[in-house]
């Protein structure tokens, strides 16, 4: 059974959707540890409520970024983690960590990559930029993490309508409900069932 490590920083609604899907949809996987970069993240409570190990590891408590990467990698390796899931993790991971788990780290981005992504596009800023541009469709993307921000192989995407009177907050909620909470568990299921095949920058989904 696949062992999953989850990195969080905030409310953890994606973590909740993944935990629920594992319980109800028979995904052959188990979350073995949830690590937060923020000691006050509600995501930690969600994990504890499920009896899952929940710990805080902050970059500022380590000598430098590389030492943090090494500590995180050791934490997950010692628990036999085969997939690392970034569920609203607001800390940048370095090459040391990314290379250790090549094509075994998944992230969710709240827009349709390659639009509205890269440095500076996180949280509400993404939805503000979408509204400022006036696009009619946005959505969410699950992708493998590479050393380039939001640049790794795309696994799943789902489009969501932008409505005339949307605020960034209203749009963020719709993107979560209609896209993020659906495609993230689905991508994890495909990975757990061995159905994702990475070919260069493309991901082939096996039947």
Chain positions contacting ligand GRF, by CB under 6 A: 10-14, 43, 87-88, 108, 110, 123, 176, 180
| C-alpha distances out from residue 82 to 6, 52, 109, Å | 11, 16, 21
109 is catalytic: yes
Rounded least distance, CB 146 to ligand GRF, Å: 16
Rounded least distance, CB 111 to ligand GRF, Å: 9
Q: Of 80 and 147, which has the nearer Cβ to ligand GRF?
A: 147
Angle between helices 124-133 and 168-175 (to 10 degrees): 110
Write out the E strands in 40-195. 53-56, 83-86, 105-109, 137-144, 154-161
Q: Rounded distance, CA 193 to CA 84, Å? A: 15
Active-site pick, 109, 125, 127, 143: 109
Q: Of 124 and 206, which has the nearer Cβ to ligand GRF?
A: 124
Rounded least distance, CB 206 to ligand GRF, Å: 26
Q: Rounded distance, CA 178 to CA 161, Å? A: 10
CA R_g for the chain: 16
Q: Of 2 and 37, which has the nearer Cβ to ligand GRF?
A: 37
Residues with catalytic function: 109
């Amino acid at each position: 059974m696949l062992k999953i490590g989850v990195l969080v920083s905030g409310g953890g609604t994606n973590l909740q959707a993944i935990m629920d899907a594992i319980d109800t949809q028979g995904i052959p996987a188990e979350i073995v540890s949830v690590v937060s970069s923020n000691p006050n993240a509600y995501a930690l409570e969600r994990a504890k409520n499920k009896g899952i190990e929940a710990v805080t590891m902050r970059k500022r408590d380590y000598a430098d970024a590389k030492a943090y990467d090494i500590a995180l990698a050791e934490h997950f390796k010692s628990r036999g983690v085969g997939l690392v899931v970034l569920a609203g993790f607001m800390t940048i991971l370095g090459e040391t960590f990314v290379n250790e788990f090549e094509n075994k780290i998944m992230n969710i981005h709240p827009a349709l990559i390659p639009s509205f992504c890269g440095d500076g596009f996180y949280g509400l800023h993404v939805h503000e930029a979408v509204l400022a541009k006036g696009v009619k469709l946005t959505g969410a993307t699950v992708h493998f993490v590479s050393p380039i921000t939001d640049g790794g192989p795309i696994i799943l995407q789902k489009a969501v309508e932008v409505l005339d009177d949307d605020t960034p907050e209203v749009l963020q909620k719709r993107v979560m409900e209609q896209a993020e909470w659906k495609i993230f568990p689905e991508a994890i299921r495909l990975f757990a069932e061995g159905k994702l095949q990475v070919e260069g920058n493309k991901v082939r989904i096996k039947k």
